Amino acid sequence: MTKIAFLFPGQGSQKIGMGKDLFDQEAVSKAVFEEADNTLGFDLSSMIFEGDAEELTLTFNAQPALLTTSIAILKKFEESGIKADYAAGHSLGEYTALVAAGALSFKDAVYAVRKRGELMNEAVPAGEGAMAAILGLDKAALEEVTKEVTESGHLVELANLNCPGQIVISGTAKGVELASEKAKEKGAKRAIALEVSGPFHSALMKPAAEKFTDVLSKLDIADAKTPVISNVTANIVTSRDEIETKLIEQLYSPVRFEESVERLIDLGVTTFIEIGPGKVLSGLVKKVNRRLTTISVSDQETIEAAIQTLKGDS
């Protein structure tokens, strides 16, 4: 029997108009957007469907927007009876995975990620930090680069270990700029600035993590019904206490996505379904192992095609 993992994207995958067709056509999905609006006390749905792209990119908007859209898509899978054996997410996507796994209610999760975004922005206001994807340089060489730049007074660290040949760095805007230049000098093929508003998964996020502890302590976190792969360790987490601890550590720790995919392969997963806008995670999975089956679902058409395919395989 085919083992399935649901994957949920993080910041950078957001786009204006995502989920609009589901809102218009699917009652179960529309209810998700309406619950987000009611929980947050403002019209997040309008921002997602017809807002300003720059405003949507701000971390305290992008996080609840992506979570909401991905859960609206997930609801269609739940309606069809298709379940995952495992769940995982990239950074913010880990919260979506925890909702899918029954460890967090959607209401608690959308509240938490809005607060998470506000605290992250407060720790390092938009424009002062940055992230960049470095392509074609191995981990050891890039670690040398970030160490050298940090020692010069401009903090930069490895933030996302995405797949072979792709590692994201994070830190001060100047640190990321300098490290990007040095990485190319050492042989990196490209350095691509990311569409995010802060230096996520770096030590600059520790002040946010300290304050976020209070936010998580007020939530009703449960044991996960479906095993979730933690960004911080690339290991399975199911207990509520460990989930809470890892969510705090995740703010300033690297996202071990390549290792997470490898762990899921070891667990027998052969089909990875990316639930949310874009195809970023599907592309990363293929770079880890091209023989794996990946399916990206972001709208009514792709959801229906995926459900038909999966039911045919079962």
Biggest alpha carbon–alpha carbon distance for the chain:
57
CB atoms within 10 A of CB 51: 17
Query: Residue 86's beta-bridge partner residues?
Result: 5
Annotated catalytic residue, options 91, 253, 282, 296: 91
Is 201 noted as a catalytic residue in this protein? Answer: yes
Where do runs of H (alpha helix) occur along 191-294?
206-217, 240-250, 257-266, 280-288
Is 91 noted as a catalytic residue in this protein? Answer: yes
Contact call for residues 30 and 48 (beta carbons, < 8 A): no
Cα–Cα distance measured from residue 94 to residue 247, given in angstroms and rounded to the nearest whole number:
8
Annotated catalytic residue, options 29, 45, 201, 282: 201
Cα–Cα distance measured from residue 190 to residue 199, given in angstroms and rounded to the nearest whole number:
19
Closest CA to 274 of 3, 9, 2, 4: 9
Closest CA to 100 of 85, 119, 120, 118: 85
> Active-site residues: which are they?
91, 201
